[in-house]
């Protein structure tokens, strides 16, 4: 049985100039890329990754200049994040009403509707399957009882001079789509004192994208490519992101999640470079166009504590109609209710794009998880295991494009399902890994559980009316008690 590791000790957020660890602490003024430099062969840099070339490596190290603090003051004290929550009267009322209604329904079903004679076992199985389906609602209701405290309007400047490394991982997406994402991320205003570099991380090695970046003649937009895929790689996006991390910071082992919190260099713990807490990585999918207030609304949330490792924001799509969204791409209940509740509960449910993460935190957990197709969900769990906190901004700060072809939609949902099961049936299973509370284990298993419950209950409940009509076998004793209990339950759902 695995034992919990010793408590995590973290250095406080510090100015970039206090660190001399290359390659990210380099002279601030990087020259603009020339056409000759853009056309030059991809260079390679030694790292933990097999291969991994980056064009214009000098631009990768560009950062804004910040005057060092007086040496006599020393490093600032570590500032822990203190989560402020408040009960949700409406959420608590809804959840309490559901629990009371479900308890009444169970009482009626057990005491009034199971007298089916020789078909009683059949009725009991139907009731058991009903209870199985109700478990997913009970777990979901936990998200309703608490709300995070309001944060207020964003300040004009942040407490720390953050350098945002915007990563846009792409493969074969069209340049017309990627262009809007890059330019929006480059143009969005930053809080005073912060800096930004945008990286187009191209796993498809598209010469058009490379030429377009070179044509911008902007030292703050960098084309990254040339990565060699590791044998057996199952998540290209993670490999793409980790390649950038290796070029920027080094010390990342591809495809390997370390044993969390191992500070003594034990088995599974890769070397971790010293990275200032002001280094942030921002992930945008190729089609996600940031709004003008993306950074001004999110960066200051890292000031809440030096152990705030991630800031999340929701997703929305321009090609959806609220009346025709039959595949629930908009997923309003998740973005506007579940994620808000997760924030209050301290649960990290990363969703793959439109988020920022401290580079220090990301490298501490071994980079973007490459052992599953749902690297975003796994990353949230790994950060939570390592003791990092997350903040959630509920406003829509970027807009993308939802898949519209049925084939692509089913491939997307299949990938989500497979990824959750890959995590569950691995050594990273939330039930057995150290560093999670019982509530966190339940929440991180709720995705797999919902798939299991859906796979069992859907065909079963489709078969019940067939058995009733063709076989004349009812699953309950029909009475006014049954009618009342069913009416209460249906009205609640």
> How many Å apart are CA 400 and CA 394, to the nearest integer?
16
Placement of tokens 């019982």 in the chain: 438
pLDDT reported for residue 14:
44
Instruction: Say if residue 300 is exposed, middle or buried (CB neighbours under 10 Å; 0-12, 13-18, 19+).
Output: buried
- The pLDDT of 480-486, averaged and rounded, is 92
pLDDT reported for residue 321:
86
pLDDT reported for residue 73:
55
pLDDT band for position 493 (cuts 50, 70, 90): low
- Three-state SS letters, 438-465: HHHHHHHHHHHHHHHHHHHHHHHHHHHH
> How many Å apart are CA 356 and CA 299, to the nearest integer?
8
pLDDT reported for residue 348:
95
pLDDT reported for residue 411:
95
Strand partners, 198: 166, 221
- The pLDDT of 49-78, averaged and rounded, is 46
Lookup: tokens for 164? 């945002």
Question: 252 Cβ partners below 8 Å, 6+ apart?
Answer: 47, 48, 49, 242, 245, 246, 270, 363, 366, 367
Placement of tokens 């945002």 in the chain: 164
235 phi/psi in degrees, rounded to 5? -135, 95
Tell me whether strands 398-400 and 316-317 are parallel, antiparallel or unpaired.
Answer: parallel
For 88-103, what is each residue's pLDDT tens digit?
999 999 999 999 999 9
Tell me whether strands 85-87 and 398-400 are parallel, antiparallel or unpaired.
Answer: unpaired
* Topology given in CATH for the domain delimited by 16-64+161-434: Spore Coat Polysaccharide Biosynthesis Protein SpsA; Chain A (3.90.550)
pLDDT reported for residue 74:
61
| Cα angle: 403, vertex 405, 407; to 5 degrees | 105
pLDDT reported for residue 230:
82
| Dihedral angle sign, alpha carbons of residues 441, 445, 450, 452 | negative
Omega before 23 within 30 of 0, i.e. cis: yes
Tell me whether strands 85-87 and 195-202 are parallel, antiparallel or unpaired.
Answer: unpaired
Lookup: tokens for 155? 């300040």
> How many Å apart are CA 68 and CA 217, to the nearest integer?
30
> How many Å apart are CA 460 and CA 360, to the nearest integer?
48
> How many Å apart are CA 264 and CA 9, to the nearest integer?
12
For 193-248, what is each residue's pLDDT tens digit?
999 999 999 999 999 999 999 999 999 999 999 888 888 899 999 999 999 999 99
> How many Å apart are CA 118 and CA 114, to the nearest integer?
11
Question: What is the SS3 assignment for 466?
Answer: helix
For 131-186, what is each residue's pLDDT tens digit?
999 999 999 999 999 999 888 889 989 999 999 999 999 999 999 999 999 999 99
Instruction: Say if residue 352 is exposed, middle or buried (CB neighbours under 10 Å; 0-12, 13-18, 19+).
Output: middle
Domain edges within the chain: 16-64+161-434, 90-148+442-492
pLDDT reported for residue 167:
98
Question: 257 Cβ partners below 8 Å, 6+ apart?
Answer: 365, 366, 369, 371, 378, 382, 428
């Amino acid at each position: 049985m695995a034992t919990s590791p010793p408590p995590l000790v973290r250095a406080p957020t510090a100015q970039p100039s206090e660190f001399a660890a290359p390659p990210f602490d380099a002279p601030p003024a990087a020259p603009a890329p020339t056409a000759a430099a853009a056309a030059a062969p991809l260079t390679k840099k030694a790292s933990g990754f097999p291969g991994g070339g980056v064009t214009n490596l000098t631009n990768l190290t560009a950062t804004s200049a910040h005057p060092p603090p007086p040496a006599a003051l020393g490093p600032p004290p570590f500032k822990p994040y203190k989560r402020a929550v408040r009960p949700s009267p409406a959420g608590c009322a809804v959840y309490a009403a559901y629990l009371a209604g479900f308890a009444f329904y169970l009482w009626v079903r057990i005491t009034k509707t199971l007298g089916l004679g020789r078909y009683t076992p059949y009725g009991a199985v139907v009731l058991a399957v009903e209870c199985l389906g109700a478990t997913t609602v009970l777990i979901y209701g936990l998200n309703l009882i608490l709300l995070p405290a309001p944060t207020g309007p964003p300040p004009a400047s942040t407490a720390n001079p953050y350098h945002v490394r915007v990563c846009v991982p792409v493969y074969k997406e069209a340049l017309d789509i990627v262009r809007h994402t890059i330019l929006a991320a480059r143009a969005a205003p930053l809080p005073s004192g912060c800096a930004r570099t945008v990286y187009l991380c191209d796993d498809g090695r598209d010469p058009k994208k490379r030429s377009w970046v070179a044509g911008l003649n902007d030292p703050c937009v960098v084309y990254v490519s040339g990565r060699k895929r590791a044998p057996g790689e199952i998540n290209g996006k993670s490999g793409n992101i980790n390649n950038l991390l290796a070029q920027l910071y080094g010390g990342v082992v591809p495809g390997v999640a370390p044993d969390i919190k191992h500070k003594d260099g034990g088995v599974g713990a890769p070397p971790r470079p010293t990275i200032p807490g002001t280094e942030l990585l921002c992930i945008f999918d190729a089609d996600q166009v940031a709004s003008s207030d993306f950074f001004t609304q999110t960066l200051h949330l890292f000031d809440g504590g030096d152990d705030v490792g991630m800031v999340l924001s929701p997703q929305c799509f321009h090609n959806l109609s609220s009346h025709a969204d039959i595949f629930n791409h908009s997923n309003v209940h998740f973005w506007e209710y579940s994620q808000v509740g997760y924030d209050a509960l301290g649960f990290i449910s990363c969703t793959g794009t439109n988020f920022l993460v401290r580079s220090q935190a990301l490298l501490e957990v071994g980079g973007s998880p490459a052992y599953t197709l749902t690297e975003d969900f796994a990353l949230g769990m790994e950060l939570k295991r390592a003791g990092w906190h997350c903040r959630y901004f509920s406003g829509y700060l970027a807009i993308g494009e939802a898949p519209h072809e049925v084939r692509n939609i089913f491939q997307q949902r299949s990938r989500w399902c497979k990824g959750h099961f890959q995590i569950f049936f691995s050594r990273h299973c939330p039930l057995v890994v150290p560093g999670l509370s019982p509530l966190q284990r339940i929440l991180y298993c709720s995705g797999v559980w919902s798939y299991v419950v859906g796979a069992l209950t859907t065909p079963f409940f489709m078969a019940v009316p067939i058995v009733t009509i063709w076989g004349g076998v009812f699953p309950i004793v029909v009475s006014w008690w049954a009618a009342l209990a069913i009416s209460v339950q249906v009205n609640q759902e």
